[in-house]
Amino acid sequence: QSALTQPASVSGSPGQSITISCTGTSSDVGNYDLVSWYQQHPGKAPKLIIFEVSKRPSGVSNRFSASKSGNTASLTISGLQAEDEADYYCCSYAGTRTYVKFGGGTKLTVL
Amino acid sequence: QVQLQQSGPGLVKPSQTLSLTCAISGDSVFSNSAAWNWIRQSPSRGLEWLGRTYYKSKWYNDYAVSVKSRITITPDTSRNQFSLQLNSVAPEDTAVYYCAREGVAGHWYFDLWGRGTLVTVSS
């Protein structure tokens, strides 16, 4: 089972907005509203920033937002800050045989 | 404050068994809502979900197809922890292994992670 497809890297300047895409199929992203996003700084564990497509956990900045259209989910970070520089991963439920798929990760560079 | 504390060896020989434990504080392995997962991360395979255990009137397990023949995840109710055993390991099992809480079982998001344990498979 293939991983979800994310761009390898994105970049933006402080204050700008960026969007990271996560493309799956009708068997995963397109079929379930169970997409989540994680932020991972070097040497640290992933941190949940979005769950169930667009919900933010308590304590996560409202600069992080997300949506889904068809087989593609998207994470938008607005008002980029230096601390946002990290790797970002999407994740989707994929049914009772595969269960979970992760994206390959996107490295965000804040210029 | 809920925390997951991982423990276990960082070096395992090929063909042997990888064993890790995840101690839960601030929550219960018996939780009626959460599920307790193991996820690994390597440069070659990225993030890979391995399996989970959860309690809903009885204990359930789900495992990834890729490791199903080799994996066991077991709750330890007396110590409020859960463990991972992966048999017959090979160098490609080298990875950082994380335990993680699925906040609501069946919703498939991982809201709490352990710090990770780098496990190297080498003779």
Residues of B in contact with A51 (CB under 8 A): 103, 107, 109, 111
Return the pLDDT at A24.
Answer: 97
Asked if the Cβ–Cβ distance from A51 to B115 is below 8 Å, we say: no
Average pLDDT over residues A29-53: 98
Return the pLDDT at A60.
Answer: 98
Return the pLDDT at B18.
Answer: 98
Asked if the Cβ–Cβ distance from B46 to A93 is below 8 Å, we say: no
Chain segment A50-59, per-residue pLDDT in tens: 999 999 999 9
Return the pLDDT at A2.
Answer: 75
Mean pLDDT score across all residues of chain A: 97
Q: List, in sequence order, every residue forming a beta bridge with A43; answer none if it has no partner.
A: none
Asked if the Cβ–Cβ distance from B46 to A46 is below 8 Å, we say: no
Minimal-distance CA residue of chain B relative to A93: B108
Question: How far off is chain A from B123, nearest CA to CA, in Å?
Answer: 25
> Of A47, A52, A104, which has the smallest distance from its Cβ to B46's Cβ?
A104
| A-B C-beta contacts closer than 8 Å | 54
Distance CA A89, CA B7 (A): 25
Percent of chain A predicted with pLDDT > 70: 99
Percent of chain B predicted with pLDDT > 90: 98
Q: Which residue has the higher pLDDT, B1 or A66?
A: A66
Question: How far off is chain B from A77, nearest CA to CA, in Å?
Answer: 19
Residue to mutate among A99, A101, A107, with most B CBs inside 10 A, is A99
Percent of chain B predicted with pLDDT > 70: 100
pLDDT for residue B118 is more than 90: yes
Percent of chain A predicted with pLDDT > 90: 95
> Of A36, A45, A99, which has the smallest distance from its Cβ to B64's Cβ?
A99
Return the pLDDT at B54.
Answer: 97
B16-36 burial code (b ≥16 CB/10 A, e <16): eebbbbbbbeebebebeebbb
Average pLDDT over residues B72-83: 97
CB of A52 within 8 Å of any CB in chain B? yes
Mean pLDDT score across all residues of chain B: 97
Question: How far off is chain A from B108, nearest CA to CA, in Å?
Answer: 6
Asked if the Cβ–Cβ distance from B108 to A99 is below 8 Å, we say: yes
- Kindly report the CA angle at B53 between B52 and B56, in degrees rounded to 5? 135
Question: How far off is chain B from A6, nearest CA to CA, in Å?
Answer: 12
Distance CA B106, CA A6 (A): 24
- CA–CA distances in Å: residue B109 to residues A10, A34, A53, B8, B84: 24, 8, 10, 25, 19
Distance CA A47, CA A89 (A): 10
The set of residues, in sequence order, having a beta carbon less than 8 Å from that of B16 and lying 6+ positions away, is B89
Chain segment B8-22, per-residue pLDDT in tens: 999 999 999 999 999
Return the pLDDT at A1.
Answer: 60
Asked if the Cβ–Cβ distance from B110 to A46 is below 8 Å, we say: yes
Chain segment B86-113, per-residue pLDDT in tens: 999 999 999 999 999 999 999 999 999 9
Return the pLDDT at B32.
Answer: 87
Average pLDDT over residues A70-82: 98
